[in-house]
A and B are shown apart, each in its own frame.
Chain A
Amino acid sequence: MSFDRRRFVRTASGALAFVSSYGLLARAGIAQTQPIKIANILDRTGGLNPYCLKQIKATAMAVDELNAAGGLLGRKLEIIFYDSQSNNQLNSQYATQAFARDKVDVLIGGVTSSSREVMRPIVNRFRGLYVYNALYEGGVCDRRHVSTGMVPAQQIEPLVDYVVNEKGAKKAYILAADYNYGQITSKWIQKYLREMGGQDLAVEFFPLDVTNFAPVLSRIQAAKPEVVWSALVGDAHMSFYRQYESTIGKKNLMLVGTVYGAGRENVALSPAENEGVIMATSFIDTLPTAAAKDFVERFKKFSGEDDYIGEYGEYGYRGVMLWAEAVKKAGSVKPDDVIKALGGTQFNGPGGLYTIDGQTNHTVMDIHLAVGNANGGFDLLKSFKQRQPVDTQQVCDLIKNPNDNRQYEPKL
């Protein structure tokens, strides 16, 4: 038959309708067949990656386990990973991209406090949900933000108590990284020290790229403290622990680290450099519980790596699982629904029982004080069950003020 214009238009529109019917059905159909998207923004490269490399794999393992169990609400989970390269500009760019272009259902990531403060306003702007898996200086009061890591009342208070009262080291010299985490954490250390009868001789701040600590080591020796507190962060600052051991020695002067261990320093440094550093943690690989052992085994099998995992690796796992519990409780993946279900959400994880406190969106967890040993690991000193994030609870009440959006800082 000959194709005149009328016939052509008829045939073509029929073909078009036929071809697009699948797309129309799929869209009208059901977003149910579309996966739930998780944006994971972490530093795979750059000076902050010691905190992230295991967390990236642990997050992937958690998603893998959830998918193997059938996914969430009948949908599979999918991770969209962005390498922020230890550069806050990329955190901001990728967070915006995740919500605007990739339309993710939740943002999980960021390790430094500066990257968190860069991404929080973006999460608020897009009315999303942000799960922050890291220990930090406390005080963030934002219903769209969930913290699964330790805050000062959980970590620093028992550390100061132990060092001042049990070890008798009252005169302290404090070193901290020069950004919001170091500045606020050093204030917390000073606050707790003064409350418990200790004395802070000096506080010094170091930009993240400083590797020469010879001047401050000389100043420390001149000041004659009884203990040195370190809130140093990142790859470059790891050289402080090397230089401290070769110049002063932990046998001669006690050293406490608030972020020590989180960057897997016990693996990167030599056994002698690791031995003797006192720290507080909510998870180490050698916790004497079945849950911890099982997690370490599964991680080794999943990742193919058999070296030390550490607290930040476990944070990645617990963050995804806690969020998943909240999603199951809410019956929906929409941020506002999940936020309503956060309070009271619990998960039994590798480090024990985790409970999200609805008043602050922070997590109640078991805390352990530990000291580095000569085998590249940690020995437990004391354990505390289910410590509350008291520092943030004292200033933040999301139930009364759900629109609160700021970070509270301690006053000395």
Chain B
Amino acid sequence: MVQQFATGAYLVLFSVSTLVLISLGLAVIFGLMRVINLAHGEFIMLGAYCCVFSVKAGMPLWAAFAVSALAIGVFGVFVERVIIRHLYGRLVDTLLATWGLSLFIVGAVTTFLGPQGQGIATDFGNISVGSLNLSVYNLILSAIALGMLAVTWVLARHTRFGLLIRGTMQNAEIASAMGVSPDRVYMVTFGFGSALAGLAGAVLVPLTGVSPTLGLAFVAKAFITVITGGQLPLIGTATASALFGTIDGILAYVYSSVVGEVGLLIVAVIVLRLLPSGITGRMRSGL
């Protein structure tokens, strides 16, 4: 009985953490900037490739995580300067542009890195809870995902930098009247969101491997989580991930992965029907 509960808790934790991991980058960009980044899956994929190459070049795993986050963050800044900057406020145009960007990235990666999948191994082993083995890496992933959430919250809430971002999101004109450059703020925010996506890819790659089409597996779930979360990026993503992760984790454990996914989607439909603006749609303040 205790065993089953421990297993269930572990699977739910892992499921929630995976959702937080893949959605946080998208939430920051969509929640704070109202930019729909359809290339989010490809940022994850690029982060995964970065991690694989770093590890194969001899870096320890933690360093590879940091390098991937940084590299994709820089790439995000580049994308923002070249493409997104011209399309603020134009929702359909950003959709199209980022969709085209995602196709371009997949094609470029296939051409230059080859279509074959790659991966790295982890030597983290497992720990035993009773007669059950849990993968240590899954627990590490959960810790990193929740850590990312915590760090983002602290950055937004308790630093001057976060204050500037929140202010600009609330009212860009007044912020600029007070000497903050909205342009700069958007650029840094997009870079931060991309770095989170890159880190997500890097953390996932020891479990899933990477290939040019990796992004497709994650982008749908990330979008569902962010949209259901509503307008507040952190609270919304956390609650939506908790809700979906719990449903998916329990159903997948009791029945099968397919039932878990179907359950997640059905719950998403119900929630959006009852709360069309998402879970935090009606909330006035908060992050």
Contact = CB atoms under 8 A, between A and B. Distances in A.
A211 B207 contact: yes
Contacts of B252: 212, 215
A218 B7 contact: yes
B179 interface: no
A246 B125 contact: yes
B206 A242 contact: yes
B135 interface: yes
Interface size class, chain B: 35 or more
Contacts of A62: none
Interface-centre pick from B122, B134, B135 (highest chain A CB count, 10 A): B135
A204 B256 CA distance: 8
A50 B245 CA distance: 31
Interface of B: 3-4, 7, 10-11, 14-15, 18, 110, 115-126, 131-138, 206-209, 211-213, 216-217, 249, 252-253, 256-258, 260
A212 B18 contact: yes
Interface stretch (A41-49, A72-80, A182-190): A41-49
Interface string A225-261: 0000000000110110011001111000000000000
Contacts of A214: 10-11, 14, 135, 138
Interface residues of A, number: 39
Contacts of A49: 115-117, 211
Interface in A286-326: none
21 contacts: A49-B116, A50-B116, A206-B257, A207-B257, A207-B258, A209-B216, A214-B11, A216-B257, A222-B3, A235-B209, A242-B119, A242-B206, A242-B209, A246-B122, A246-B126, A247-B134, A268-B116, A268-B117, A269-B119, A270-B120, A273-B121
Interface string A10-35: 00000000000000000000000000
Given A212-B257, A239-B207, A242-B209, A53 B7 contact: no
Contact of B208 (A218, A236, A272): A236
B258 A246 contact: no
Nearest to A270: B121
Contacts of B122: 242, 246
Given A215-B252, A270-B121, A44 B131 contact: no
A45 B110 contact: yes
Contacts of B10: 214, 218
A222 B209 contact: no
B17 to A, nearest CB: 11
Interface-centre pick from B117, B131, B134, B207 (highest chain A CB count, 10 A): B117
Interface of A: 44-47, 49-50, 53, 178, 204-207, 209-212, 214-219, 221-222, 235-236, 238-239, 242-243, 246-249, 268-270, 272-273
A230 to B, nearest CB: 15
Nearest to A211: B208
Contacts of B260: 215
Contacts of B135: 214, 217, 243, 246-247
A242 B212 contact: no
B138 A53 contact: no
A235 B126 contact: no
Contact of B253 (A206, A207, A219): A219
Contacts of A216: 256-257
A269 B118 CA distance: 8
A217 B132 CA distance: 10
Nearest to B130: A221
A243 B124 CA distance: 11
